[in-house]
């Protein structure tokens, strides 16, 4: 597996930071919506407010971070070049952000024109991204990157399925009365499954094959895991989509196996003290295991909050926790490398661990853990806990934003110091 990085192919700092900074901003918007609407946001998975909240998180917070990670990791790890990256990266960022806001507004206001605007922005943005990444993935690449790239290819295929279903669902809202090939509830279930467990889950798994051993200094994932997990998940998604009995349970068990192996690797990291990424990834894998347990609990025993809790565990617990943890490794490293490349003679940039100190990142972890716990409890007790959960999520998002902004402040301060040094010389 690849441990040596092609740092010379790293995209400009601003290219990916615009995506990473947007992650807590969209999480903050979702939190503000939850505080504003309160119990109405957690009464049913079919509520317009719930759908707006969900898409602010999935397309906004998660979408921005996952796209940014792809743009950063593929050139550096695999040594491949994204087609027309200088044009594609800012365009996709703008279209994805504006399209997500339009979609959330469409759900909240029930305005067909907002759904049309969302479709006009989101579909071209994600198809453009998918095409650019697909071209890059079939270029000659570093041999050690193969475990990651195979799973990322399957994640992109899952994204395509997700987009087809999204286009069908969006068209039904954009042009009311339009007939659909699938019933609305069925299409919605498939869209959620392929989006969360296909596109999101496979991308997190593929990136984990690279970043967990590299950043956490753990043993490599067993060959059977990175060779078979992606194929197994994709085939089980297809089987579950066609109604094969027990396919969904097998799908969850496959992810439970991935969670168990990742937890085992994290327990064998060389540094004895867990850093912020370790804590976030443990929470991510624990959430993934909890999905499997809750799924097996009969609905009448689990109560009315079960469906929403599964969504919270998958989106906020599993995917967002993994993303949050990776940001604390990727962003400081990118800023450090940017400063190192631009340092004036005799100027020494701060170390990676000083750009976002781990104690600040760990503090935000505890805030996010509290927010996740409140969100889960609010699924069963929305009347009393929806707004406290939203406030806790807002605190965590603001904390993450402040920590990322601190890294940018260090970058700007060092750049100013370099300018002063050059003028003095």
Domain ranges of the chain: 7-409
By the 10 Å C-beta count (0-12 exposed, 13-18 middle, 19+ buried), 176 is classed as: exposed
Q: What pLDDT score does 423 carry? A: 42
Q: Where do we find the tokens 């279903």?
A: 165
By the 10 Å C-beta count (0-12 exposed, 13-18 middle, 19+ buried), 298 is classed as: exposed
| Cα distances (Å, whole numbers) of residue 338 to 107, 349, 355, 358 | 41, 9, 12, 20
Q: Where do we find the tokens 């969504």?
A: 311
Q: What pLDDT score does 106 carry? A: 97
Q: pTM here?
A: 0.94
Q: What pLDDT score does 63 carry? A: 96
Going by the DSSP 8-state scheme, the letter that residue 59 receives in this structure is I
- Residue 382 in contact with residue 311, Cβ under 8 Å? no
DSSP for 236-265, please give it: HHHHHHTT-TTHHHHHHHHHHHHHHHHHHH
- For the CA atoms of 419, 420, 423, 425, the dihedral, rounded to the nearest 10 degrees, stands at -110
Secondary structure element (H or E) that encloses residue 269, with its range: none
What is the distance between the alpha carbons of residues 209 and 262, in angstroms, rounded to a whole number? 9
The CATH architecture to which 7-409 belongs is Up-down Bundle (1.20)
Q: What pLDDT score does 177 carry? A: 84
Q: What pLDDT score does 425 carry? A: 38
What is the distance between the alpha carbons of residues 80 and 29, in angstroms, rounded to a whole number? 34
For residue 236, the Cα-to-chain-centroid distance in whole angstroms is: 22
What is the distance between the alpha carbons of residues 103 and 170, in angstroms, rounded to a whole number? 9
What is the distance between the alpha carbons of residues 89 and 85, in angstroms, rounded to a whole number? 6
Nearest to 76 by CA among 249, 210, 173: 210
Question: What are the structure tokens assigned to 282, written together?
Answer: 């443990």
Q: Could you list the pLDDT tens digit for every one of the 425 residues in the chain? A: 444 566 667 788 888 999 999 999 999 999 999 999 999 999 888 899 999 999 999 999 999 999 999 998 888 887 788 888 889 999 999 999 999 999 999 999 999 999 999 999 999 999 999 999 998 888 877 777 777 888 999 999 999 999 999 999 999 999 998 888 888 999 999 999 999 999 999 999 999 998 899 889 899 999 989 889 999 999 999 999 999 989 999 999 999 999 999 999 999 988 778 899 999 999 999 999 999 999 989 888 888 899 999 999 999 999 999 999 999 999 998 888 888 877 666 677 788 888 999 999 999 999 999 999 999 999 999 999 999 999 999 999 999 999 999 988 887 876 555 544 434 43
* φ, ψ of residue 222 in degrees (nearest 5): -55, 145
* φ, ψ of residue 102 in degrees (nearest 5): -65, -40
Going by the DSSP 8-state scheme, the letter that residue 38 receives in this structure is G
Question: What are the structure tokens assigned to 308, written together?
Answer: 């929403």
């Amino acid at each position: 597996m690849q441990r040596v990085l092609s740092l010379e192919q790293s995209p400009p700092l601003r290219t990916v930071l615009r995506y990473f900074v947007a992650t807590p901003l969209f999480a903050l918007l979702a939190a503000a919506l939850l505080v504003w609407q309160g119990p109405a946001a957690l009464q049913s998975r079919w509520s317009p407010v719930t759908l707006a909240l969900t898409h602010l998180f999935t397309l906004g917070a998660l979408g921005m971070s996952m796209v940014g990670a792809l743009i950063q990791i593929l050139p550096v790890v695999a040594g491949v070049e994204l087609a027309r990256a200088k044009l594609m990266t800012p365009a996709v960022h703008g279209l994805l952000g504006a399209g997500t806001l339009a979609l959330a507004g469409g759900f909240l206001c029930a305005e067909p024109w907002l759904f049309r605007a969302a479709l006009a922005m989101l579909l071209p943005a994600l198809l453009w991204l998918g095409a650019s990444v697909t071209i890059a993935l079939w270029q000659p690449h570093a041999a050690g990157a193969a475990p990651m790239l195979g799973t990322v290819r399957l994640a992109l295929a899952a994204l395509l399925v997700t987009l087809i279903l999204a286009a069908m669902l969006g068209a039904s809202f954009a042009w009311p009365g339009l007939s659909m090939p699938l019933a609305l509830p069925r299409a919605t279930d498939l869209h959620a499954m392929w989006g969360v467990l296909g596109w999101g889950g496979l991308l997190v798994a593929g990136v984990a094959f690279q970043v967990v051993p590299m950043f956490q200094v753990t043993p490599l994932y067993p060959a059977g895991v990175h060779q078979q997990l992606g194929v197994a998940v994709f085939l089980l998604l297809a089987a579950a989509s066609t109604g094969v009995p027990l396919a969904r349970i097998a799908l969850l068990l496959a992810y439970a196996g991935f969670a168990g192996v990742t937890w085992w690797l994290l327990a064998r990291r060389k540094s004895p003290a867990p850093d912020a990424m370790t804590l976030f990834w443990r929470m991510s894998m624990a959430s993934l295991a909890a999905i499997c347990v809750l799924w097996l609990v009969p609905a009448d025993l689990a109560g009315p909050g079960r469906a929403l809790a599964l969504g919270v565990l998958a989106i906020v617990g599993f995917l967002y926790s993994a993303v949050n943890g990776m940001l604390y490794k990727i962003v400081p490293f990118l800023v450090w490398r940017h400063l190192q490349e631009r340092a004036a003679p005799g100027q020494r940039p701060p170390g990676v661990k000083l750009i976002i100190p781990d104690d600040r990142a760990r503090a935000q972890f505890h805030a996010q853990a509290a927010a996740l716990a409140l969100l889960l409890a609010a699924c069963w007790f929305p009347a009393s806990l929806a707004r406290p959960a939203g406030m806790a999520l807002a605190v965590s998002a603001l904390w993450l934003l402040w920590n990322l902004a601190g890294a940018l402040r260090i970058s700007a301060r060092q750049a100013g110091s370099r300018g002063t040094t050059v003028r003095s010389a």
